[in-house]
Amino acid sequence: MRRQKKPCPITEAGIRYIDFKDDRLLARFITDYGKILPSRLSGVDARHQRQLSKAVKKARFLALLPYVKGQTA
Partner 1 sequence: MAKLKIRRNPTRRYEAVYIFDSALEDTTIAEKLEKLQGLLNLAEPATIEHWGRRQLAYKIGRHENGYYVISNFTAAPAVLPEFERALKLDEGVVRYLVTLYEHELGAPKLSDEELASRRRASDDDDDDED
Q: Whole-angstrom distance between the N-terminal and C-terminal Cα of the chain?
A: 47
Using the rule CB under 8 A, is 21 a contact of partner 1?
yes
User: Which residue, 2 or 32, has its beta carbon nearer to partner 1?
Assistant: 32
**What phi and psi, each to the nearest 5 degrees, are found at residue 36?**
-70, 130
In sequence order, which residues have a C-beta less than 8 Å from that of residue 55 and are 6 or more positions away? Answer: 18, 19, 20, 22, 26
Among 11, 15, 43, 53, binds partner 1 (CB under 8 A): 15
Among 6, 9, 11, 22, binds partner 1 (CB under 8 A): 22
Using the rule CB under 8 A, is 50 a contact of partner 1?
no
Contacts with partner 1 by CB under 8 A lie at 15-17, 19-22, 24-25, 27-28, 58, 60-68, 71, 73
